[in-house]
Structure 1
């Protein structure tokens, strides 16, 4: 796809340079997630890759020529003179200042995350021109990070109730299986990286590259050897036991885990006759852990039944909180049909049956990385102020009578902490040093660089 920033926008944006008042010299605009039915607060994440990957690459004369040709053929105006100023006077970098909250911060809806302001009085229209690219860059990772965090809170509560080691268990309790379920490799990298803010388990390798490239993470996530149906069924039904035994032999090692999908034919027969029967002693004699993966059936009752059957076959211990923990040689992972709602139900059922959440891990695929959109958190970018040719800032906002929920904020914004909660205030009403929206980008220069460890710590 195109990497031409001039074309990374909606067609109608190309005509907006002719629509602002003649006295306009600067425009300010902010990004927020409006109140919604999905979450009251969000985990802000994903701005830094946009700054480095998109705004950090200057436009070239070839970009201007290409955009002009496309806009002319497409039937929309093209601001050749404006883009020539960007190229000639700013080295191809957009003359913008971007202020933001720290990534990883937990932010109530309705509070600005980012504010953009133009810095060249000849180009006030640039602030809103980048709306499409900027919104696309932040709504997706923030929404995935927020969804992943919701799961984290559910699982953490179950661990606090049932586990002797909730902090040690939590980082690997939700595994990302979403790489094949997203619309692009870029989505896999960005969305998978957003999940890794909350957890450390993933099979989305693009996410590891993204976290390293954009946030300096040496290794942001981990996985284990695992079977898929093709590697098990290729042995044939008559040799199902041999296929499982091969997994145990091939991935033997101190502390090593191996996951085996066990529903290719008959999950209950595999649990009782193979894992709990023929191969029981071999499982108990290994130095590592077998993770049994049911992959079909009811997403709550099936994995719970697997835990119960494994308990009957392998036993375990009762922890200090009175919950049963399987023998350390066996665990279960449920990666089919998992959503925040089904995870909550499974956690509740496990605890009701007296089993610690230590016994099970959860996996999500397209439901984690793909089944979200801009309206999940009702993301929007709106102009909030205009500076005129006399240097005076004027409020800009909308207040549609047909939908008061779409009313926007007037005046340049600040975010402050009041009574322990983040709230939006007018910048001209906030004392110096109180505003948490700080400059992170100005005229092609990254002013603040966040690390993945820092973001993880803040989110936690």
Structure 2
């Protein structure tokens, strides 16, 4: 949707008539209020600004919106939108403050604050809620899910491996085909790449390059799918696997082969572990075997055990068993955050190092989440009426968890209490972590992908 006027909930169109007489400014903020995580990894605002706020509205956009909204049954603020085109050359007269992208902060802190800069456009602050909130909650939630998965994997590597080498390739994005749209795959996939460097979502690569000056933020390897294996027929399963090794294996190379088209255990015990064993061992590269069905915990631990029976293993300094470098496992079926924890816990119990496994995550990474996963909301916290600022807040008696913040806000890093949101007039001499990143059509602070990754702690 290139017309920002129509990138909104329908009822927003009537709100310009609903504010008190003399309202000249409305200040709102975006925060994750709760949900299943205690920390949020903020990401995605710059993508939205570049895509939607740096292209000016035109009178043709206003004409289109007028036709649609009036036919739709809601009032249209034609004078207000024409004023923006004529007075501001079509750029929205708003100021957006935000934390640096890549910030990892406790929930219930303001990530973004928005205010109109033209007193004739007080209605505009909340009008952009639909588009702006969506632009924040989705990539931030994906980045947060990915971040917490990384914390789990890092913990198990720390407990069962000699080093954290390869951590950034331990969770691969398999989610492109399960995303609702290509844009969702691009935005969510880019968020994942803040934490890991493995992806098959090409749209994510392009989003990071176009919006954050990334060079090559993610990587993939040659990999088989069921069609390229079953095309050889059941009797040709060995030939299909052998072809994968001949085509793609070699010194320092990785190749992934789905191995459960028929009988995973037969494939491991006889084809990989006997008939093609010497080819695997002498390739100089790494074969990554992918199971793709069954109960994940049992399948993964049994797969690793059977591969150790056939290819051997070494015991690392922490007492956990590691497959030889020529063979590894990737599990991409049924993977979500809880499944990663369960699989790695079971592997640890069986003295299998986390070095042996990588994961592929699809729907649970890019799709099985929503705005309520982290209870995101954008709320007005202050209004200026007839020259005076007034606090604005909600505190529903039926759900105090939806209580909103009051006043113009700031975010500080308190040496005792950590990162927290305070009233702007209570800043004192402390630095406000909310910086003005956009004003009246101009992107004022631009972050690179590498800078954002460096912010993550």
Q: TM-score, normalised by structure 2?
A: 0.99
Aligned partner of 1:402 in structure 2 is 398
Shift of 1:252: 2.4
Q: 2:137 aligns with which of 133, 139, 160?
A: 139
Distance in 1 (alpha carbons) for counterparts of 2:129 and 2:333: 36
Matches within 5 A, 1:3-152: 3-36=2-35, 38-152=36-150
Shift of 1:78: 0.5
Distance 1:90 1:385, change over 3 A: same
Shift of 1:431: 2.0
Matches within 5 A, 1:269-308: 269-308=266-305
Q: 1:417 aligns with which of 402, 413, 428?
A: 413
Distance in 2 (alpha carbons) for counterparts of 1:91 and 1:455: 32
Moved over 3 A (4+): none
Distance in 2 (alpha carbons) for counterparts of 1:75 and 1:432: 50
1:339 aligns with 2:336: yes
Distance in 2 (alpha carbons) for counterparts of 1:122 and 1:342: 52
Give yes or no for contact 2:329–2:357 (8 Å, CA) kept in 1: yes
Distance in 2 (alpha carbons) for counterparts of 1:216 and 1:254: 32
Q: Deviations over 1:46-81 (max 9, x none)?
A: 110111111111111110000000011011111111
Distance in 2 (alpha carbons) for counterparts of 1:436 and 1:375: 25
Give yes or no for contact 2:411–2:421 (8 Å, CA) kept in 1: yes
Aligned partner of 1:455 in structure 2 is 452
Shift of 1:388: 2.3
1:267 aligns with 2:283: no
- Ranges in structure 2 where 5+ consecutive residues have no aligned partner: none
Q: Deviations over 1:349-399 (max 9, x none)?
A: 111111111111011111110011111111000001111232x21111111
Shift of 1:415: 0.8
Distance in 2 (alpha carbons) for counterparts of 1:85 and 1:428: 32
Shift of 1:400: 1.1
Q: 1:160 aligns with which of 141, 158, 161?
A: 158
Shift of 1:120: 0.2
RMSD: 0.9
**Partner SS for 1:9:** coil
Q: TM-score, normalised by structure 1?
A: 0.98
**Partner SS for 2:372:** coil
Shift of 1:432: 4.4
Distance in 2 (alpha carbons) for counterparts of 1:57 and 1:271: 56
Paired residue total: 456
**Partner SS for 2:306:** helix
Distance in 2 (alpha carbons) for counterparts of 1:53 and 1:342: 35
Q: Deviations over 1:164-195 (max 9, x none)?
A: 121x2210000000000010000000000011
**Partner SS for 1:441:** strand
Shift of 1:456: 1.0
Aligned partner of 1:316 in structure 2 is 313
- Ranges in structure 1 where 5+ consecutive residues have no aligned partner: none
Shift of 1:420: 5.4
Give yes or no for contact 2:249–2:286 (8 Å, CA) kept in 1: no
Give yes or no for contact 2:97–2:112 (8 Å, CA) kept in 1: yes
Distance in 2 (alpha carbons) for counterparts of 1:323 and 1:56: 54
Of stretches 320-329 and 289-298 in structure 1, the one that deviates more from structure 2 is 320-329
Distance in 2 (alpha carbons) for counterparts of 1:410 and 1:285: 66
Distance in 2 (alpha carbons) for counterparts of 1:143 and 1:319: 36
Distance in 1 (alpha carbons) for counterparts of 2:147 and 2:293: 25
